[in-house]
Structure 1
Amino acid sequence: MRTFEEIKNTIETGLGMHVCDLKIENVKLVNVFSGEVYPTNIYIKNKRIVSIDPSADLEAKKVLDGNGQYALPGLIDAHMHFESTMLSPEALASVVVPQGTTTMCADLMEIANVAGEEGLRAMLQSMNRLPYRMLIEVSSRVPTAPGLETTGAVLGAEEVANIMEWEESVSLGELDPSKILFVKDEYIKKVADTLAKRKLVNGHAIGRLGQELNVYASSGISDDHECVNTNEMIERLKVGMKVFIREGSSERNVDELIRGVIEHELDTSNLMFCTDDKHAREIQVEGHINYNVSRAVELGLDPMKAIQIATVNSAKHFRMEDEIGSITPGRLADIILVEDWREVKPTVVIFEGNVVAENGNLLEECKVEEYPDWLKHTVTLKNPITAESFAALSKKQDGSTKIHLIDMIPRQIINHHVLEEMQVKNGKIQVNIEKDILKLAVVERYGKNGNVGVGFVRGFELKKGALAYSMSHDHHNIVVVGTNDEDMALAVNEVARLNGGLSVACDGKILNSMELPIGGLMSEKPAEEVMAQLDILNADAKALGCGMDAPFMSLSFISLPTVPDLGLTDLGLVDVLEHKLIPLEAEE
């Protein structure tokens, strides 16, 4: 919020009474409000833009020659999760800021499910050191599926209302349809409290259409980042919901949705870009929100519209257009310079008036501070994990049986619920490697009950070994997929030994592993170290037969109990649309 002194100083600077801190001269300004591009100079004082008038002639302490480049507003990620990057907020800076992202709207539901309000506070301790802006979408689902999973913490309506008062809080985080369609009073109370504060409620409306979508929207849900096809996007726009077009590691939606926007000549003013969940290496190599912009233009979208989607649209949606999202007087000076506005590769990134990145590199390291020790000891196995922990018991002794199978959809987090005939030996359902039907399990890791939920999945293509990860949305118990129970047990025990992390096991040996001690979700190490280690783990998974681009990201989502059709928790298999546990074996 701007103070009297700040407003007065900005006015006086524009009148020539004070010297500007920075003049960016010789740029082509991309004005997302007027939809124009024109040559001008930009004047900055005390973090804010003083003038963009081509005729202004103000004195400045420093002058930056834009060399005729385009000046774009800093990019905004409308919805993301730090924990999915495996990096701390500090370490992530070196990856996203050079790509031009200066604001990230973060739902910290992962750390909240592990460690509650205190976990959120621990995460926020980094904010004053970051060369970008962190805004908080207050976690609405802690736990995500009450009664269907075990989590480390609970955030009730009162706790959520208190956190919503924090200065950084801009919305209620993604709320799945079951909380509305099953008329859950606690969640409706969270919605009502949020709307009473004139803040937004983020949606998570995957798979819902027709009257269900109408009922969902009627509760006050503002947006949705789960559209995977054009029809879903259009239906959400029809009921007054904004659409976040997502491009993550395992959820690739930009191509489909932007093609739909162009084909149907849709108004883009209610569209925004987000990453949701994207690994750091992919951000570094491919891009962040700048990738979404460049790809949209490549597909045929007008560059101005693509940039508006990435900037001012999000600022308006979160009711912050008076502060961010444009290069206009009085706004915070978040500016990126690019040689070609059709391919957004920043040469200079400015955050709140300071140059923070040049030519793909952060100018000053954002050091990872020490996180609380208790937050780095959140993995406790109540019972020993052995191969027998993963036995998939059948009602039959031998022969065959039908099971409910999680059938993955490539490059998406949704899955199909199919019935599959499986072999039974000695009362146990067997994997079928030839048909790519592997065992999937979730191990409770908070030391509360020792539950192990077991199911089967198709899509990982492992020929041998097992993969384990202590991030399984949104309960974040340990999830493991494998071709045999022995390697699965080995992989899970390695993750527990590390107090959270990833592991690859094969033939009774740990091939590689990586620790993620912050809540069992994030590393304390610099970005390059984490990315290099993840590259090794991905290569190990590939060597075992997995053809996925991001196997651990897919592993983290496949058990999610709020994304259709099926999920898996420590309590067992979940029918997502019916929001209930179902047996592994289908009824005869």
Structure 2
Amino acid sequence: MGDKAADLVLENCSLVNVYSREILPETQIAISQDRIAYVGKDASHTKGKKTVIMNLEKKYVTPGFADPHIHVDQFVSPTEFAKKSLLCGVTSLFSDPIDIVSTCGYSGFKEFVKMTSGLPVRFFHVVPGGVPVDRKFSHGKTLTLTEEKSALKIPGVLGLGEVFSWTKVTKRDSKTMRTLSTMLENNCVINGHTAGASGKKLNAYVSSGILSCHEPINFEQVIERLRLGMWIMIREGSVRRDLKDIVTLVLSNKTYTDRLMFCSDGLDPADIARFGHIDHCIRESVKLGLNQIDAISMASKNCFDYYNMGKDLGGIAPGKLADILVFDDLKKMKPRKIFVGGRLVASNGTIVCKMKKHTVPKWMTKTVKLQKFSEDDFMVKSRANSANVNVINMKTEIITEKINENLSVKDGNVVASTDKDIWKVAAFDRTFGTAKHTVGFLKNFDAKIGAFASTWNFHENNMIVIGSNEKDMAKAANSLVSTQGGMAVVSEEKILASMPLQMAGIVSTNSFETVSENFANLNTVLAEAGCKFKKPHLIPLFLPFLALPDIRILSTGLVDIKNHSFLKIVT
């Protein structure tokens, strides 16, 4: 009304209005503290002696972008990730810190939420809904019902993360159903994961109050879920890129886009540096023919509508929090200026505000609870001259199948075979520090190295060691004990590449640039050594992943997913 002067007035801008689906030239936006007070042709009544007036010279302004489903507890700290994501125009991140929880429990969850506070990006969190993946086989840490209820009282915690073992819902697993009830009673959002679900099973899943999914990989899966009232997060990230196949058919079928969003599900340093983040999703969708404003709405308004936060965020209008992006043009989608809560946080590709640094507590840097390894730790004993063994055949970095092979036995030890491209693969319990471990066999890695080891894998966080000989396997494992986590490549007892992940064995405390360099070097070394897969770091990430067929390895044994049973290594 003009009774009080605004703190900031943005003049002469072209407003991308996600509410009316139009671009409004010569718009003025008045901001008081962290919220928008006025949007229109003339904000002169809001100006005072101390009002900062910024002429945007007809540049475009849009609401800040959001990633509605991302695992930020990967590779780099939240601070380091926020630096890169923010410059892509992403002002809100909806984090599902499932691996921090599987390694560090409720204390880790609370600490991680604390790490994301005070940054110039809005972090929202969900209580992980995916652990344990399978109570029979999983042994990672999880939250009790009491802890889940307590977590909901933490500012910024919105509800439940992806419930990806959907059979727990259709079979009415008691713990899962109690958790869902708690979330519904507290009016919380529950995120979904419905890969493989259809028909009555999908209906049952949706009826439980789970109304989103980021797993559709084609239009048929998208439309089935939309028809049941779900919201769809179109995934374009480092593990899967589904945008092109989905958006093309959304357009040809003239499907409503008001329940569609973009998400990454997680980004590695190489991909965010090369492609960007949600800005990349907008660019690619527009190239495919999507209306520019619809693409921006999917990157902003739709996300906050889904999370029931539309009264505060998602667009540029009176009363909304002033998360605003300024663009020279809408093709490149590279923000010139970025405001979060009315404060200028980035300008001309540079962060212009202080980035709060959080000290990682010592206990979170001591999660690789293993003793020094020797060659004996990687032996598979047999009294015969040769042995028939069950082998994990890598069809891709992620997809496996069970095959059988006959291997030689030397001095009572079943050995790997470079001729057959058969490797040893070992899994150790590094979270609890028990003596539990499994040594099995893997085919189709095809790299001329001695060993490749990792302490980071999705939701189980065993130490995984792949090797052609026991000496190098021990060397690789010991190197990760000394760094308290990470990935390492070894040949002839020399470390060829390493990526330390000191925090919980899954996140680096180093700078983004250092981690990016280590990550690139790790994959380059493996590629040059002959590994046939484009992203070999994904292999140890998914080897213990119980939500996918066909065969997985954990410290507790070799698991046949379809038959829900343990397998013998030597048959």
Q: Normalising TM by the smaller chain, what interval? A: over 0.9
- Tell me the CA shift for residue 135 of structure 1: 0.3
- Paired with 1:302 and 1:585, the residues of 2 have a C-alpha distance of 58
Q: State the shift of 1:424 in Å.
A: 4.4
On the 8 A contact 1:150/1:570 being kept in 2, the answer is no
The Cα offsets for residues 70-89 of structure 1, whole Å up to 9 and x where unpaired, read as: 211111111111122x1111
Match of 1:168 in 2: 156
Alignment-derived partner of residue 488 in structure 2: 503
Deviation track 1:315-365 (CA, whole Å, cap 9, x = no partner) reads 011101111111111111111112232332111111111111122221234
269, 274, 284: which one pairs with 2:273?
Answer: 284
Residue among 212, 217, 220 paired with 2:201: 212
Classify 1:255/1:391 alpha carbon distance in 2 versus 1 (closer, same or farther; 3 Å).
Answer: farther
**1:49-90 CA distances to partner (integer Å, 9 max, x unpaired)?**
112212332316212232322211111111111122x11111
Query: Residues 74 and 101 of structure 1 are in contact (CA less than 8 Å); yes or no, is this contact kept in structure 2?
Result: yes
Assess if the C-alpha contact under 8 Å between 1:470 and 1:477 holds in 2.
Answer: yes
The corresponding residue for 2:40 is 53
Q: Which residue of 1 aligns with 2:248?
A: 259
**1:38 is the counterpart of 2:24:** yes
User: In the TM superposition, what are the counterparts of 1:70-149 in structure 2 within 5 Å?
Assistant: 70-84=60-74, 86-149=75-138
Partners of 1:431 and 1:439 within 8 A in 2: yes
1:81-100 Cα distance to aligned partner (Å, 9 max, x none): 1122x111112221111111
Q: Report the CA distance between 1:19 and its aligned residue.
A: 1.4
Q: Deviations over 1:397-435 (max 9, x none)?
A: 35574635343436xx4x243435453435766545566
Of 362, 366, 369, which aligns to 2:351? 362
SS at match of 1:161: helix
Q: CA RMSD in A?
A: 2.4
Bigger shift: residues 230-239 or 113-122: 230-239
**For 2:469 and 2:289, how far apart are their aligned partners in 1?**
47
Contact between 1:93 and 1:366, CA under 8 Å: does it hold in 2? no
Residue 51 of structure 2 corresponds to residue 64 of structure 1: no
Q: CA deviation at 1:442?
A: 2.0
Counting only pairs closer than 5 Å after superposition, residues 424-439 of structure 1 correspond to structure 2 as: 424-426=408-410, 431=416, 433=418, 436-439=421-424
1:453 and 1:341, CA in 2 relative to 1: closer, same or farther beyond 3 A?
Answer: farther
C-alpha separation between the residues in 2 aligned to 1:161 and 1:420?
A: 47
Residue pair 1:567, 1:576 contacting (<8 A) in 2 also: yes
Change (3 A) 1:404 1:184: farther
8 Å CA contact 2:431–2:461 kept in 1: the answer is no
Counterpart of 1:385, as a letter, is: F
Distance in 2, matches of 1:424 and 1:539, equals 32
**One-letter amino acid of the counterpart of residue 10, structure 2:** I
Equivalence for 1:12: none
Please state how far the C-alpha of 1:286 moved relative to its aligned partner. 1.3
Residues 584, 182 of structure 1: CA spacing in aligned structure 2 closer, same or farther, 3 A cutoff? Answer: farther
| Cα distance in 2, alignment partners of residues 293 and 72 from structure 1 | 12
Q: Helix, strand or coil for the counterpart of 2:537?
A: helix
Measure the CA separation in 2 of the matches of 1:239 and 1:436.
46
Q: Check 1:375–1:539 CA distance in 2 against 1; reply closer, same or farther (3 A cut).
A: same
- Please state whether the residue corresponding to 1:517 is helix, strand or coil: coil
Q: Which runs of 5+ in 2 are unaligned?
A: none
Q: Mean Cα displacement is larger for which, 461-470 or 86-95?
A: 461-470
Matched, 1:423 2:407: yes
Q: 1:460 to 1:306 in 2, by over 3 A?
A: farther
Of 454, 467, 485, the match for 1:469: 454
Partner of residue 527 from structure 1, selected from 508, 512, 524: 512
Distance 1:532 1:425, change over 3 A: same
SS in 1 for 2:333: coil
Deviations 1:486-536 (A, max 9, x none): 322221221111111221111221123232222122222222222222222
- Any residues of structure 2 matched to 1:202-351 within 5 Å, and which? 202-351=191-340
Instruction: Tell me how far 1:45 sits from its aligned partner.
Output: 1.0
8 Å CA contact 2:402–2:551 kept in 1: the answer is no
Query: What letter matches 1:43 in structure 2?
Result: A
TM-score (norm 2): 0.92
Deviating more after overlay: 230-239 vs 574-583: 574-583
How far apart are 1:548 and its partner, in Å?
A: 4.0
Please identify, of 281-290 and 203-212, the stretch whose mean Cα deviation from structure 2 is larger. Answer: 203-212
In 1, are the aligned partners of 2:551 and 2:558 still within 8 Å (CA)? yes
Q: Secondary structure, in 3 states, of the residue corresponding to 1:83?
A: coil
Greater Cα offset, 288-297 or 244-253: 244-253
1:4 matched to which residue of 2?
none
After superposition, the Cα gap between the structure-2 partners of 1:451 and 1:323, relative to the gap in structure 1 and judged at 3 Å, is same
For residues 132 and 305 of structure 1, what CA distance do their matches in structure 2 show? 23
Which has the larger displacement, 181-190 or 560-569? Answer: 560-569
Superposition misfits of 4+ residues, deviation over 6 angstroms: none
Q: Any idea what the Cα deviations from partners look like across 1:245-269, whole Å, max 9, x if unmatched?
A: 1122222222222233234332222
Kept in 1: contact 2:386–2:409 (CA 8 A): yes
Match of 2:428 in 1: 443
Change (3 A) 1:192 1:539: same
* Matched position secondary structure for 2:390: strand
Task: Report how many residues are paired.
Answer: 565
TM-score, length of structure 1 as denominator length: 0.90
- Report the residue type matching 1:66 in the other structure: L
Q: Distance in 2 between matches of 1:271 and 1:453?
A: 43
The residue number in structure 2 matching 1:516 is 501
* Correspondence 1:551 to 2:533: no
Counterpart residue identity of residue 239, structure 1: L
| Aligned-partner residue type, residue 42 of structure 1 | I
Q: 1:222 and 1:580, CA in 2 relative to 1: closer, same or farther beyond 3 A?
A: farther
For residues 62 and 266 of structure 1, the distance between their equivalents in structure 2, rounded to whole angstroms, comes to 43
1:164 to partner: Cα distance: 1.8
Q: Give the counterpart letter for 1:139 in structure 2.
A: P
Mapped contact 1:462–1:482 kept (Cα < 8 A): no
**What's the secondary structure of 1:292's corresponding residue?**
helix
Kindly report which structure 2 residues correspond to 1:565-584, keeping only aligned pairs within 5 A, or say none: 565-584=550-569
8 Å CA contact 1:143–1:155 kept in 2: the answer is no
